[in-house]
Amino acid sequence: MNIYSKYHVSRVINASGKMTILGGSRVQDKVIEQCGIGAGNFFEVKDLLDKTGEYIANLLDVESSYIVNSASGGIAQAIGAAICQDNYQKIMNLYDPTNNKREVVICKGHNVNYGTAVEVTMRLGGAKVVEAGYANECTLDSIKACINENTVALLYIKSHHCVQKGMPDVQEFIDLAHAYDLPVIVDAAAEGDLKKYYQMGAECVIYSGTKALCGPTSGLIVGKKSYIDLIKKQYAGIGRIMKVGKENIIGLTYAIEEYMNQPQLTIEQQKDRLKEFNHLLNQLDGVQAKCVQDGAGRPIIRSEITFTHQDAKKIAQSLKTGEVHIYTRDYKANLGQIEIDIRDVDDEELMIIYHRIQEILEA
């Protein structure tokens, strides 16, 4: 009996990308093996976190790093660190209403829903959320107007979910924060460059362990040692609730090492993988398929499929039914388009997607 039959769940083809609702990404056998080694042995967990953090920091050539339970947990603890610093009383009383110095500024266009609202995660970390600008525009002056004596940090969300136009770029955002002696927290959960935002000067940058890194459920924080030392102190408070298991600490560390040592597919290689798939789709009546790059500027190529005769939203929903549930990127379905992300789709699954689309159109 396979796992799907045993638990009465459906097989899924994940053509939507590194999505938490589908489990993030495929974890490779070598990483799973390392998770097993971690699970089968005992460690002093604080020491394990410190030593793996040092190992990863040396690997990435950054000041410091720290493994947490998830990117969301990392954001909450990073905000808690900005509020509490090394004050144990504040760490143990994070939500004390008499402490007004807890404001965190975020561009309004960055306060998005990624499965929950960013502001929920911010408030979990103790923040009073201060939105700067408007949904479609946030200037540096808008951010400056929000900074006062109660501001403890600025938070930048680097995500395809966010409004891309009319927002400050990361560097000018960081420079502005530093002009006011404020730390910058960058949520780069799905990003693949583990050095870029650190090198721009951000105090801490937070990544998902199970997205681009293809590791187990976890998160990675890289940044300045002084700030990550403050984040570690949150383990006495909310960090304890967000603990990460020893198996995932070992597994993620190995996954990062593999990620840094293995070349990623180039833009052209990704296009080549989609060439035959797009060609077949373009033979179908009322279908136009072409390669497009990720809207947030990441080096990711997807197939953009436009349906001119049928409702793309209904097609996307139909793909999620049947023996195999196929998940696509549906953000532009209201415009008649869906996208196919091939990072966790093998060639056989790609043909299953094609044949299923063909069946739906011909039904």
Same domain, 171 and 209: yes
On whether both 268 and 257 belong to a single domain, the answer is: no
Name which of 299, 307, 296, 300 is nearest 341 in CA terms.
300
Rounded CA-CA distance 222/186 in Å is 10
- Is the same domain home to 243 and 277? no
- Is residue 37 domain-resident? no
Domain limit, last residue, from 233, 261, 289? 261
Q: What angle do CA 12, 190, 137 make, to 5 degrees?
A: 120
Angle at Cα 33 formed by Cα 29 and Cα 37, nearest 5°?
170
Burial class (CB in 10 A: 0-12, 13-18, 19+), 123: middle
Assess contact for 219 and 188: CB atoms under 8 A. Answer: no
Q: Is residue 184 part of a domain?
A: yes
Please check whether residues 52 and 195 belong to one and the same domain. Answer: yes
Domain count, the chain: 2
Residue 322 has a pLDDT of 83
Whether residue 202 is contained in a domain is answered as yes
Q: What is the pTM of this model?
A: 0.93
310 CB neighbour count, 10 Å cutoff: 15
3-class DSSP state of 40: coil
pLDDT at 298: 86
Complete DSSP assignment for 98-155:
T----EEEEEGGG--BSSSBHHHHHHHTT-EEEEESBTTB--HHHHHHH--TTEEEEE
Q: Tell me whether residue 33 is in a domain.
A: no
In this structure, the number of other CB atoms found within 10 A of the CB of residue 302 comes to 24
One domain, residues 244 and 268: no
Burial (0-12, 13-18, 19+ Cβ within 10 Å), 363:
exposed
Quote the Cα angle for 149-153-156, to 5°. 140
In a domain, 28, yes or no: no
User: Do strands 103-107 and 128-132 pair parallel, antiparallel, or not at all (unpaired)?
Assistant: parallel
Task: Please list, in sequence order, all residues whose beta carbon lies within 8 angstroms of the beta carbon of residue 55, skipping any fewer than 6 positions away.
Answer: 253
Q: What is the pLDDT of residues 204-257, one digit of tens each?
A: 999 999 999 999 999 999 999 999 999 999 999 999 999 999 999 999 999 999
Residue 340 lies in a domain: yes
Backbone angles phi, psi at 343, to 5 degrees: -60, -35
Q: Are residue 189 and residue 307 in the same domain, yes or no?
A: no
Are 67 and 154 in the same domain? yes
Q: Which residues, listed in sequence order, are joined to residue 289 by a DSSP beta bridge?
A: 305
* Residue 179, domain CATH: 3.40.640.10
Q: Are residues 61 and 105 both part of a single domain? A: yes
Evaluated on CA atoms 169, 175, 177, 182, the torsion sign reads positive
| Domain shared by 232 and 90, yes or no | yes
Give the integer Cα–Cα distance in Å for 135 and 118.
14
Q: What is the span of the domain harbouring residue 168?
A: 43-261
**pLDDT value at position 1?**
61
Give me the phi and psi of 204, to 5 degrees please: -150, 145
Which residue, of 261, 285, 319, is where some domain finishes?
Answer: 261
- Of 229, 261, 293, which closes a domain? 261
CA distance 69 to 218: 4
Q: To 10 degrees, the CA torsion angle through 266, 270, 273, 279?
A: -130
Is there a domain that residue 88 lies in? yes
Q: State residue 296's pLDDT score.
A: 78
Query: Does 162 lie in the same domain as 49?
Result: yes
Same domain as 116, residue 240? yes
State the virtual CA torsion across 84, 153, 71, 76 in degrees, nearest 10.
30
d(CA 82, CA 101): 10
Question: Closest by alpha carbon to 16, among 280, 302, 243, 346?
Answer: 302
**What is the C-alpha separation between 174 and 137, in angstroms, rounded?**
18
Backbone angles phi, psi at 166, to 5 degrees: 80, 10
Structure tokens at 75: 């954001």
State the CATH number of the domain containing residue 15.
3.90.1150.180
Nearest to 66 by CA among 226, 222, 209: 222
Concatenating the DSSP letter of every residue in 270-323 gives HHHHHHHHHHHHTTSTTEEEEEEE-TTS-S-EEEEEEESSS-HHHHHHHHTSSS
pLDDT tens per residue across span 305-330: 999 999 999 999 999 998 999 999 99
Mark the ranges of the chain whose per-residue pLDDT is less than 70.
1
Residues 343 and 200 in one domain: no
In a domain, 83, yes or no: yes
